[in-house]
Amino acid sequence: MPILPDIRDYERLYAAFRWKIPARYNIAVDACDKWAAAEPERAAILVQGPRGLEAVSYGRLSEDSNRLANALQAHGIKRGDRVAIILPQTPETAIAHFASYKLGAVALPLAGLFGVEALVYRLENSGARAAVTNAAGLAKLAEIRGKLPELKLVLSIDGAADGALGFKETLARASPSLMPANTGPDDPAMMIYTSGTTGPPKGALHGHRVLLGHMPGVELPHDFMPQPGDRMWTPADWAWAGGLLDVLLPALSLGVPVVAKKFEKFDPQEAFALMAEAEIRNAFIPPTALRMLRSAGRSKQKLSLRTLGSGGESLGIETYEWGREALGLVINEFYGQTECNLVLSSSALLGVSKPGYIGKPVPGHNVAVIRADGSRCKPGELGQIAVKRPDPVMFLEYWQRPDATRDKFIGDWMTTGDQGEADDEGYVRFVGRDDDVITSAGYRIGPGEIEDCLIKHPAVALAAAVGKPDQLRTEIVKAFVQLKPGFQPTDTLAAEIQAFVRTRLSAHEYPREVAFIDQLPMTTTGKVIRRLLRDRA
């Protein structure tokens, strides 16, 4: 059942909404078992394969996750233990999550694109006792298994090998009957590592209530999902909060089937084809992927999209306008971070949509732009975006980092490390990460507006703006530009791009240096890694 009441007026909806968090709650029961009991053959995951879409039912997810939970328990995995899940978009990913939740264990999603150093840090730091992976993940684990004495059990969905048991064979030997752990909303359920601006990645530990906390922020930008015929997809890895908590788990909780397809690398033409062939009605596509779709030109296939949401970095006016013109719908931008996700959103259906702004607070969340002392900024004043506790979507703590947990708060405000400003209508504009904001000749410049202008140039496919140290101005703006096919990097083109931005923005914002780059460095979630570009600058 949806959480939001069907009130089609933002102010009334925000005022009327109240959280109803039950005393006992388990993510697997809510997102899987309740549907398996009522409609066991109902489609949960639609896997895009050689023969088209193949449906995996709630009944199968429920039984297989029962079997996996029993198998894990038989191998000594108990409540509170961490279970690593190193898999792409596949039914086994959902099964491993549900098994962990049913056991009262802590699911630890890890991206398949992680290298061995990233994996060994997260597995060692978390003390993971078990891992579910595929052949590719197993090859990486084989290199580092000796450094992970706590890792007692590894299961591979591609069969037994290299010290791993076969996933299917293990499930076949286990009982399909299980009584899920009697968990409360604050009991640990999952841990997602997030890379901060300083120091090593931190494990953001979440309680089972994190799924309930996400629901208003999913239902709002997707126009009161679920609606008849809804079918959801994202290119985002299900190991990321955006793929797992913005799409997979909320959609399954609402009874909306999720399309699964493993992309080795995001390909805009493949994405267009999938959305057409699978008749996707609801999509979450990060801004960088949307810009790649825009650069690829209009889709020749007929799309069935009803809603399109985007978040993870600034959407930008250019991409917003492209969505209206090329796709025929308004892209609803939303905002959050791993520690406290989906707290701001647009909703064109409710008239909450303003180019260049994220949107307004999602019902149930108290969000503001604050000063360093915790007081609220005035409209138009630059400050830090913050979320007030208590909030069901907010993390429990940073794993074994009490100091970092404490430093995340100013009073009851959880700080995000993101600079923003609110206008007199309550819209919030994202300016940039604290360390992304460029200080030049006394001006504080957010990279988003510059990047948005850069991609309007006909030669530019993708772009990123960073600050480069400068004795005179403190910093200057330097742009890294990825060109479209058919364009050659030349000094003449660089000067043309500089002039293009200068005439459209201002003299203090245009890039005083332009560097051409074959490919922008990106995270596994499709965000530009500006830190690496700052190092190059």
Helix (H), strand (E), coil (C) string for 141-190: HHHHHHHCCCCCEEEECCCCECCEEEHHHHHHCCCCCCCCCCCCCCCEEE
Measured at the alpha carbon of residue 345, what is the angle toward residues 331 and 8, in degrees to the nearest 5? 90
CATH of the domain at 255: 3.40.50.12780
Residue 441: predicted pLDDT: 65
133 in a structural domain? yes
105 and 80 housed in the same domain: yes
Of 366, 475, 384, nearest to 430 by C-alpha is 384
The model's pLDDT over 445-454, given as tens digits with 9 standing for 90+, comes to: 778 778 888 9
Of 206, 207, 228, 225, nearest to 216 by C-alpha is 225
What is the sign of the dihedral through the CA atoms of 168, 170, 173 and 176?
negative
Report the Cα–Cα distance between both ends of the chain, in Å, rounded.
50
186 and 272 housed in the same domain: no
Which domain covers residue 228, as residue numbers? 1-21+209-365
Residue 443: predicted pLDDT: 63
- What is the DSSP secondary structure assignment for residue 394, as one 8-state letter? B
62 in a structural domain? yes
Q: Residue 532 and residue 524: Cα distance in Å, rounded?
A: 15
Number of domains in the chain: 3
Residue 217: predicted pLDDT: 98
Q: Residue 367 and residue 147: Cα distance in Å, rounded?
A: 42
417 in a structural domain? no
321 and 262 housed in the same domain: yes
The model's pLDDT over 104-130, given as tens digits with 9 standing for 90+, comes to: 999 999 999 888 888 999 999 999 999
- HSE-CB at 77 with a 13 A cutoff on CA atoms is 31
pLDDT for residue 474 is more than 80? no
CA distances from residue 506 to 445, 449, 516 in whole angstroms, order as listed: 11, 11, 22
226 and 320 housed in the same domain: yes
Residue 483: predicted pLDDT: 95
3-state secondary structure of 385: strand
Residue 447: predicted pLDDT: 82
CA distances from residue 16 to 11, 13, 414 in whole angstroms, order as listed: 9, 5, 24
Residue 299: predicted pLDDT: 65
Q: Residue 204 and residue 365: Cα distance in Å, rounded?
A: 19
498 in a structural domain? yes
Residue 197: predicted pLDDT: 46
Is the pTM value of this prediction over 0.85? yes
What token pair was written down for 302? 């007929």
202 and 213 housed in the same domain: no
58 and 174 housed in the same domain: yes
Residue 442: predicted pLDDT: 61
Q: In the predicted model, what is the mean pLDDT of the chain? A: 93
CATH of the domain at 510: 3.30.300.30
Contacts of 356 (CB under 8 A, 6+ apart): 316, 317, 320, 429, 449
415 in a structural domain? no
